[in-house]
Amino acid sequence: MKEVVILLGSGSIGQAIARRVGAGKHVVLADLKIENANAAAEILENAGFKTSTVAADLSSRESILNMIEHAQKFGEIKNLINAAGVSPSQAPVATILKVDLYGTAVLLEEVGKVIAEGGSGVIISSQSGHRLGALSEDQNMQLATTPTEELLNLPFLKDIVDTLKAYQHAKRGNVLRVMYEATRWGKRGATINSISPGIIITPLAADELKGPRAEGYLKMLKASPAGRAGTPDEVGDLAEFLMSSRGRFISGADFLIDGGTTAAYWYGDLQYLKKTH
């Protein structure tokens, strides 16, 4: 029996993190599309990692529990990496909230019940959560602590009609939920944090930078403090630190890794974006 790493969402960012924390462990690759998980498994197996794959739907508690059961066949679950989700251009409001908000909350809840002592997890959120204006104290509390099966019934979520606003609320909810769950994971001697990336060059992002909205994206990147997009490896390096022995005093925190884009959005050369967001 080995220590187990669960990676839900087998894209470039998730793989970058798994390569840094999965050596000597069993890596479970879970994805809505099993062919994506199998493709990632082949890459990791060829690099010396031990893997297995399972189909998993982040929006379904039953599917999450099935993934956990699969993982436990190989040993104790030591690490969780959640890089799954849908974007504002991929899905309607209801789906975004069910997958990105509710699904992540259920995942944190269920893995938190079985995470090994000394374990750790990272949730990939988004810079979009940092572009949402301040919520009320009550709204923050509700997003953080509302029982998972009641989460989608919050009145202020039912008023959302724009997919970007749905995504921003979901990602803000991820950060708040991580804070709440850190208090529970801590009772098992485990840590949990979130990472909020900006534009990271993945196959999907590379397509966007060549597509009809390329001019806007490139202008935004050029006006950011870093002047460029990020790489999956840069996110992986941050996640590795948080999940290592050096990160044991860090839990319930969110880390914005966007080259300063959010800073420029609120206070710098990207303030023009507020009119469209």
CB 273 within 8 A of CB 265: yes
The position carrying tokens 């840094």 is 20
Three-state secondary structure readout of 219-244: HHHHHCCCCCCECHHHHHHHHHHHHC
SS3 11: coil
CB 193 within 8 A of CB 180: no
167 annotated active-site: yes
Q: Which of 78, 98, 171, 265 is catalytic?
A: 171
171 annotated active-site: yes
Residues sharing a CB contact under 8 Å with residue 205, sequence separation 6 or more, in sequence order: 199, 229
Q: Which of 25, 102, 167, 180 is catalytic?
A: 167
SS3 258: coil
User: Hey, what amino acid is at 123?
Assistant: I
DSSP for 181-232, written as a single string: HHHHHGGGT-EEEEEEE-SB--HHHHHHTTSTTHHHHHHHHHHSSS-S-B-H
| Continuous H helices in the chain | 12-21, 34-46, 61-72, 93-96, 104-112, 137-145, 155-158, 163-185, 203-208, 214-223, 232-243, 261-267
Residues belonging to the active site: 167, 171
